[in-house]
Chains A and B, each alone.
Chain A
Amino acid sequence: MTTPAPTPPDFEPLAPYPPVRLAVADLVVERGGRRVLDGVSLTLAPGEALLLTGPNGVGKSTLIRTLFGLVRPEAGRVLIEGEGVEDPDEVAPACHYLGHRDSLKTALSVAENLAFWQAFLGRPGLSVAAALAAVDLDDLADLPAAYLSAGQRRRLAIARLLAVRRPIWLLDEPTAALDRASEARLAGLMRRHLALGGSLLAATHLTLDLPGARALALSHQPAPDADWAEPDAESVVS
């Protein structure tokens, strides 16, 4: 319930994020009576990227929604620890959630959509104009969002990650509908986010070009222990 500070002018380079760490222990999630996640544990430290892979329906989206607090786990906790964290259970305000839906209002213009989220979520990062420029939408700022293509809508949703500063990015298929150039641009934004001490967890089928990214593979096998190894044990990638 804090009042966000007035939008500052463009500041570049941005200040680093306060170091916060996401810790998940023995997460069990059921959806519609079916156990989707069973005993998931992971940690996400500042500057770390975790790429979530696995077949459709294995629970990638469910894991991300659970981390963001949109799904209540049957067991286990999602905690946030670090500097300036008052309540370790208040995870969502430190996280950006980029879901399948782009959270845009078609009746509002591109800039109005972004300006709303910036004012509503608080802790502004880049200005609206700078964030739109970063995703190459600056020339469409006054266009109603109804006229955007799927890829442009996605880029506008990504601009929200830049316009509001939150240290942890939870991205569900962030590259859906994006073209090659936009994918590369997104990877660049991710690298800059990690360089500032942010962290991200992305469910994606693409190999994003991120230095030091770890992969976490979810699988359907119901083997109780082998299913979910500590992410460190499965480190591969990039």
Chain B
Amino acid sequence: MTSYTALFVRELRLAVRVGGGALMGVLFFLIVVSVIPFAFGPDLNLLSRLGPAVLWLGALLSTLLGLDRLYEADRDDGALDLIVGSGRSLELIALVKALAHWTATGLPLVIAAPLFSLFLAMPPATIGSTMLTLLVGTPALTFLGSIGAGLTVSLRRGGLLVPILILPFCIPVLIFGVSASTAVAFDPAGFHTPFYLLCAVSLLAAVTGPVAAAAALRGGLD
């Protein structure tokens, strides 16, 4: 088992065990999605039109929820010192940690989205497109969030700072994600452009996120 596989497995184990954040994200997602119909009223047309936006908002907020612990937990117990001193590439470590975090918290959101979309009276085509955009777009949120987590790691109780720092960078993901998801029902030809832009943002975040997070970790060492 290589170092990075070992790290990935450890992160997943920690996420699904007691005190891990895997279940928390999905539960928060469920809370957001299930209270929306009560707030908007039983207008099915309205709900189905807003469905993708609600799912995306829920996914965005749930992703932000657990991100502050990405490096903080390792900082608190001293493991971060050993990880930095391991001689392994900090960029790859940041990539692996973000991937593991997404697998534990982002992937369950994607899987739960079709189920939750039933609360919002969404047509099957929109359910499919929303699931697809979430699958492509939520990794971008995690990668962007890992930058914020790296920046705030040296602060005590810097939790809420992470969402504040990265939210502006998450807006494009939200815009392209929602417009691609809704396009399927109203204007099928309009799906591709925002979807490809979403893919591009995701790829960009996958490259810049780990590099920036590693730089932030190095800068915040002292």
| Interfacial residues, chain A to chain B (CB-CB below 8 A) | 1, 3-4, 31, 65, 68-72, 90, 92-93, 95, 97, 99-108, 112, 116-117, 119-122
Contact = CB atoms under 8 A, between A and B. Distances in A.
Contact of B78 (A90, A99, A107, A122): A99
B19 A107 contact: yes
A112 B77 CA distance: 16
Nearest to B89: A1
A104 B7 CA distance: 14
Interface string B1-12: 111011101100
A115 to B, nearest CB: 8
A70 B81 contact: yes
B20 interface: yes
A108 B10 contact: yes
Interface string B83-94: 111111100100
Contact of A119 (B6, B77, B83, B222): B6
B156 interface: no
25 contacts: A1-B92, A3-B3, A4-B2, A65-B81, A69-B84, A70-B85, A70-B222, A93-B86, A93-B87, A99-B81, A100-B78, A101-B77, A102-B77, A103-B77, A105-B79, A107-B13, A107-B20, A108-B13, A108-B14, A116-B6, A116-B9, A117-B82, A119-B3, A120-B10, A121-B82
A228 to B, nearest CB: 22
Residue with the highest number of chain B CB atoms closer than 10 Å, among A68, A104, A105, A112? A105
A105 B14 contact: yes
A96 to B, nearest CB: 9
A120 B20 contact: no
B155 interface: no
Given A102-B77, A104-B77, A68 B3 contact: no
Contacts of A68: 81, 85
B106 to A, nearest CB: 20
A116 B89 CA distance: 17
B195 to A, nearest CB: 35
B157 interface: no
A108 B73 CA distance: 14
Given A102-B77, A103-B82, A107-B14, 19 more contacts: A1-B92, A4-B2, A4-B3, A31-B222, A68-B85, A70-B85, A70-B221, A93-B87, A97-B81, A101-B76, A103-B81, A105-B10, A107-B17, A107-B20, A112-B10, A120-B6, A120-B7, A120-B10, A121-B3
A187 B114 CA distance: 60
Nearest to B75: A101
Contacts of A99: 78, 81
B2 to A, nearest CB: 5
A35 to B, nearest CB: 14
A105 B76 CA distance: 10
Contacts of B87: 90, 92-93
Contacts of A92: 84-87
A119 B9 CA distance: 11
A70 B3 contact: no
Contacts of A107: 13-14, 17-20
B219 to A, nearest CB: 10
A233 to B, nearest CB: 30
A117 B79 CA distance: 10
Contacts of A72: 221-222
B221 A71 contact: yes
Nearest to A113: B10
A119 B85 contact: no
